[in-house]
Amino acid sequence: MDEGLKRLRGFREIYPEEMSSRLKIFNIMRDVSRRFNFKEIDTPSLEPLELYKLKSGEEIVSQTFSFKDKGGRDVTLVPEITPTVARMVAQKKNMPKPIKWYSIPKLWRYEEPQSGRLREFYQYNADIFGIWTIEADAEVIALAQAILYHLGLGDKYIMRISDRTLIESILRRFDVKDVDMALRLIDRMEKIGEEIFIEEFGKITKEMDIMDFIRLKGDASTISKKLGGLIDDKYLKNIENLENYLKSYNYGNFIFDLSIVRGIAYYTGIVFEAHDVKGELRAILGGGRYDNVVSLFGGEKIPAVGFGMGDAVLEIIMKRENLWPSVDEKVDYFIAIQGDNRPFAIKISKIIREMGKVVEIDMGGKSLSNQLKTADRLGAKNVIIVGDEEKKYNIITLKNLETGEQVRVPIEKINEIVTK
Amino acid sequence: MDEGLKRLRGFREIYPEEMSSRLKIFNIMRDVSRRFNFKEIDTPSLEPLELYKLKSGEEIVSQTFSFKDKGGRDVTLVPEITPTVARMVAQKKNMPKPIKWYSIPKLWRYEEPQSGRLREFYQYNADIFGIWTIEADAEVIALAQAILYHLGLGDKYIMRISDRTLIESILRRFDVKDVDMALRLIDRMEKIGEEIFIEEFGKITKEMDIMDFIRLKGDASTISKKLGGLIDDKYLKNIENLENYLKSYNYGNFIFDLSIVRGIAYYTGIVFEAHDVKGELRAILGGGRYDNVVSLFGGEKIPAVGFGMGDAVLEIIMKRENLWPSVDEKVDYFIAIQGDNRPFAIKISKIIREMGKVVEIDMGGKSLSNQLKTADRLGAKNVIIVGDEEKKYNIITLKNLETGEQVRVPIEKINEIVTK
């Protein structure tokens, strides 16, 4: 094939077998969202590039598929949907709160494709708008955990939770002046390694005791023991409540881990990431609270908390753990045709399709034995043979390929046989 | 809001109510496809621009969102998926035929947005690969008709069918030299009007009797009566067979209409379009046979027939006919919390969500009467009240908002009450 006609790197063609697995996963996501009373929305795939300059930071803009459209406008394939969803909330005044929305859009990032990172991927997103307090953070994290639980991943990940306001209050306590720079460094701690991290962090503050706090991990009481008296109690009370709620939801493990800050600039409170317990993969999902985004679109300030989960890492971990669903939808009835009886066979196909069954009808004019081979290859549960005699007496010959049983049925009785 | 942050023209934000209708429609499309044994696939949203220069003709290329990516390559948001699907067939050798695939991608066209025409839209697509004969055309047209039937549009459209090979054979019979030009003119006949059409067509051929044939409409016998002896009988036999099969499928009306040629250059046989019976709208769907596309990707020639149906015109006609589904998913249980009992309330929410029900739990810390108002606004079928006494005795107070009945239930009996 001409090189110029090939699929672009980092993009996928999804054949039926793979697609049926993916649809099953989407259906689980949709079903769990429904139970939590989240409603599905849909968003544009192309947006003004300016939308992402707002608060997402330059790192995301540099990774977009952006271009000038034919009207000379800077536009981009959407790299994330938070700004769009926030705009949708901002521009429809008077929607009763809380608003609980989810979506499963395709997103695009111009990055080097590698394991778990594609240029085009699906991302499940869910958000709650309108609640300032930790109750919404808990509901959103529980939703994320419930989805992972229903995908079979209940014990394959650890949810790592932190709170930006708490971290910032520690940083201030240690007289860190450039809080943004410190957060960026903490975010990159695992990537750059301990040594470089300490060196770089030493440029921000001389009080290196702070390292013990940044690396703090454990349950709320561990955090409280270490930080009590050092920062305002309200931060500690907040994570105690969150722990209490998440234990009540009881959908999976979690740990407070103050090294989690999340790269994206707009988070303002709780942040969280789910990681493979084996530590091999990128984050499975990530999210947090972003109370300042909706107001960027004018009007009132509306608090928000949400998360996103791409399908690439999810696929890798599910396949590794043998949890990737294999969906093998068989043909219920294969209609084989002898002689010149297609119109009659088509009528039979319609009766059975209208009963909701999967019906394949031979289109190739092959010999009966070849048609039966096709039925076999398709894994058909039943074959219906339609020939001159069947047509003459208005009957079908029905063979159950699982039991081998063969019967002749008048067409007005097909109903009874098929529903059985 | 800053102009630069607004949604782009011709793109949609779909809020939950509208989305639930759309999902219902997609589910009908998926369910009918399943019954016909079509399998869902998924395709890239971005492709090399060259893919569309192949056979789609320049008109489609000029209407794309195309750009140079950061690697300097000419790429485009996909304006149609036929080339991609054909490539997917070509590059996976040895797939047993026939292949029956469908998909519901988003597509993009840089055209002036207007009624029934958006810059971003969903399009249902279905194709059969591997069958040379009219049996596959019939199955594909029947699928299109079955979908419209199950959307409630059974008598709101007319399927207009023609055959490019038949038209071309008439054109040759009348000594038309530039067949492509003639087809393009016929395609635009309705748009440019009778007078201009005759004038322009007069430049191609002097034999203006041809007009009677181009405007020919009716059933197969009407077409045969007029064309018998004039062109090869095989063309007439073909549409007779098609008529016979479609009558057997019996999913809706159709007519042969030789003025239908379809603009896209790659069709090689039967072409068809479904039109609003009231004649107010653009085509609801369109498709045809394209036997030369797969071989463009190297390797063997594999015949194909399929169609595409966008969601914009569909939405307009369904709304006009009051067929647009309204899906109002209610909250099954609203959990109202008194006092400091959130953890207990959360445990109740989990029990009921795990039974598959839609559960909303108050997150706002409002008064009980305000919580009950929220339950009412959400159309909740039941309210569960969780207070100190409930917590103490491990019970819930359950009020059925439809009957007004109120009971107290031990939590270990929630199962029995909820499934009821």
Structure confidence at residue A339 (pLDDT): 93
Q: How many helices (DSSP H) and strands (DSSP E) are in chain A?
A: 17, 18
A103 within 8 A of A75, measured Cβ to Cβ: no
Q: Greater confidence, A298 or B413? A: B413
Give the nearest partner residue to B41 out of A19, A88, A297, using CB atoms. Answer: A19
What integer is the mean pLDDT of B20-30?
Answer: 97
Q: Is A299's pLDDT higher than 90?
A: no
What six digits make up the tokens of B34? 């399943």
Amino acid (1-letter code) at residue B35: R
A4 within 8 A of B72, measured Cβ to Cβ: no
Q: Is B215's pLDDT higher than 80?
A: yes
Residue B56: pLDDT band (50, 70, 90) is low
What integer is the mean pLDDT of A314-332?
Answer: 94
> Of A96, A88, A166, nearest to A125 (Cα)?
A88
Residue in chain B closest to A366 (alpha carbons) equals B131
Name residues 219-258 of chain B within 8 A of A (Cβ).
244-245, 247-251
Structure confidence at residue A1 (pLDDT): 79
Residue B397, classified by CB atoms within 10 Å of its CB into exposed (0-12), middle (13-18) or buried (19+), is middle
Structure confidence at residue A403 (pLDDT): 93
What six digits make up the tokens of B189? 């006949």
High-pLDDT (> 90) share of chain A, % = 78
Residue carrying structure tokens 């529903």 = A419
Chain B residues in contact with A131 by the CB 8 A cut-off are 363-364
What integer is the mean pLDDT of A240-264?
Answer: 94
Residue A179, classified by CB atoms within 10 Å of its CB into exposed (0-12), middle (13-18) or buried (19+), is middle
Does the beta-carbon distance from B90 to A20 stay under 8 Å? Answer: no
A293 forms beta bridges with none
A310 within 8 A of A343, measured Cβ to Cβ: no
For residues B299 and B294, give the distance between their C-alpha atoms in angstroms, rounded to a whole number: 8
Residue in chain B closest to A2 (alpha carbons) equals B297
As a whole number, the mean pLDDT across chain A is: 93
A161 forms beta bridges with A256, A272
Query: Which 3 state secondary structure label does DSSP give B98?
Result: coil
Give the nearest partner residue to A343 out of B40, B248, B298, using CB atoms. Answer: B248
Residue carrying structure tokens 């305002």 = A232
Give the nearest partner residue to A88 out of B13, B248, B377, using CB atoms. Answer: B13
Residue B209: pLDDT band (50, 70, 90) is confident
Name residues 43-72 of chain B within 8 A of A (Cβ).
43-48, 50-51, 54, 65, 67-70
Peptide bond into A343 cis (omega under 30): no
Q: Is B108's pLDDT higher than 70?
A: yes
Does the beta-carbon distance from B37 to A360 stay under 8 Å? Answer: yes
> What is the edge-to-edge ordering of all strands in the sheet holding B382-386?
B359-361, B333-337, B382-386, B395-400, B406-410
Label each residue of A40-83 as H, E or C.
ECECCCEEECHHHHCCCCHHHHCCCCEEECCCCCEEEECCCCHH
Q: Is A263's pLDDT higher than 90?
A: no
What six digits make up the tokens of A199? 């060196």
Count CB-CB contacts under 10 A for residue A247.
Answer: 15
Structure confidence at residue B115 (pLDDT): 87
Does the beta-carbon distance from B43 to A14 stay under 8 Å? Answer: yes
Residue A139 host element (H or E): helix A134-150
Buried b (16+ CB within 10 A) or exposed e, B251-283: bbebbbbbbbbbebbbbbbbbbbbbbeeeebbb
Structure confidence at residue B349 (pLDDT): 97
Residue A289 host element (H or E): strand A285-289
Conformation bin of residue B37: beta by default, left when phi > 0, alpha when psi is -120 to 50: left
What integer is the mean pLDDT of B223-242?
Answer: 95
Chain B residues in contact with A349 by the CB 8 A cut-off are 249
As a whole number, the mean pLDDT across chain B is: 93
Q: Is A183's pLDDT higher than 80?
A: yes
Does the beta-carbon distance from B7 to A353 stay under 8 Å? Answer: no
Residue carrying structure tokens 């790299």 = A79
pLDDT tens-digit readout, B387-418: 999 999 999 999 999 999 999 999 999 999 88
Q: Greater confidence, B193 or B302? A: B302
For residues B381 and B399, give the distance between their C-alpha atoms in angstroms, rounded to a whole number: 9
Give the nearest partner residue to A40 out of B11, B19, B247, using CB atoms. Answer: B19
Give the nearest partner residue to A244 out of B67, B119, B343, using CB atoms. Answer: B343
Does the beta-carbon distance from A13 to B68 stay under 8 Å? Answer: no
For residues A291 and A300, give the distance between their C-alpha atoms in angstroms, rounded to a whole number: 11
Residue B57: pLDDT band (50, 70, 90) is low
Chain B residues in contact with A88 by the CB 8 A cut-off are 13, 15
Residue in chain B closest to A135 (alpha carbons) equals B363
Residue in chain B closest to A99 (alpha carbons) equals B16
Please check whether residue B370 touches A, CB under 8 A: no
Q: How many CB pairs under 8 A join A and B?
A: 254
Give the nearest partner residue to A46 out of B97, B120, B347, using CB atoms. Answer: B120
Which of B42, B107, B289, B328 best tests the A interface by mutation, with the highest count of A CBs <10 A?
B42
Q: Is A243's pLDDT higher than 70?
A: yes
How far off is chain B from A204, nearest CA to CA, in Å?
Answer: 36
Q: Is A264's pLDDT higher than 90?
A: no
Does the beta-carbon distance from B68 to A70 stay under 8 Å? Answer: no
Alpha-carbon torsion (B190, B192, B195, B201), positive or negative:
negative
B366 within 8 A of B417, measured Cβ to Cβ: no
Name residues 3-42 of chain B within 8 A of A (Cβ).
4-8, 11-16, 19-20, 22-23, 31, 34-37, 39-42
Peptide bond into B98 cis (omega under 30): yes
For chain A, domains (ranges, CATH) are 3-43+81-320 (3.30.930.10), 333-419 (3.40.50.800)
Indicate if ipTM > 0.90: yes
Please check whether residue A2 touches B, CB under 8 A: yes
Structure confidence at residue A328 (pLDDT): 80
Give the nearest partner residue to A36 out of B39, B353, B364, using CB atoms. Answer: B353
Q: Is A151's pLDDT higher than 90?
A: yes
Give the nearest partner residue to B360 out of A37, A65, A359, using CB atoms. Answer: A37
User: Cα B178 to the chain's mean position, in Å?
Assistant: 35
Residue A365: pLDDT band (50, 70, 90) is confident
Does the beta-carbon distance from B40 to A16 stay under 8 Å? Answer: yes
Does the beta-carbon distance from A34 to B365 stay under 8 Å? Answer: no
Buried b (16+ CB within 10 A) or exposed e, A81-92: bbbbbbbbbbee
pLDDT tens-digit readout, A2-58: 888 999 999 999 999 999 999 999 999 999 999 999 999 999 999 999 998 876 666
What six digits make up the tokens of B315? 């939405």
Q: Is B109's pLDDT higher than 90?
A: yes
What integer is the mean pLDDT of B382-389?
Answer: 96
pLDDT tens-digit readout, A127-143: 999 999 999 999 999 99
Please check whether residue A116 touches B, CB under 8 A: no
A155 forms beta bridges with none
Name residues 83-102 of chain B within 8 A of A (Cβ).
84, 87-88, 90-92, 96-98, 101
Please check whether residue A279 touches B, CB under 8 A: no
Does the beta-carbon distance from B139 to A50 stay under 8 Å? Answer: no
Residue B337: pLDDT band (50, 70, 90) is very high
For residues A189 and B246, give the distance between their C-alpha atoms in angstroms, rounded to a whole number: 66
Q: Rounded to 10 degrees, what is the CA torsion of B58, B60, B62, B68?
A: -100
Residue in chain A closest to B75 (alpha carbons) equals A8
What integer is the mean pLDDT of B365-371?
Answer: 92
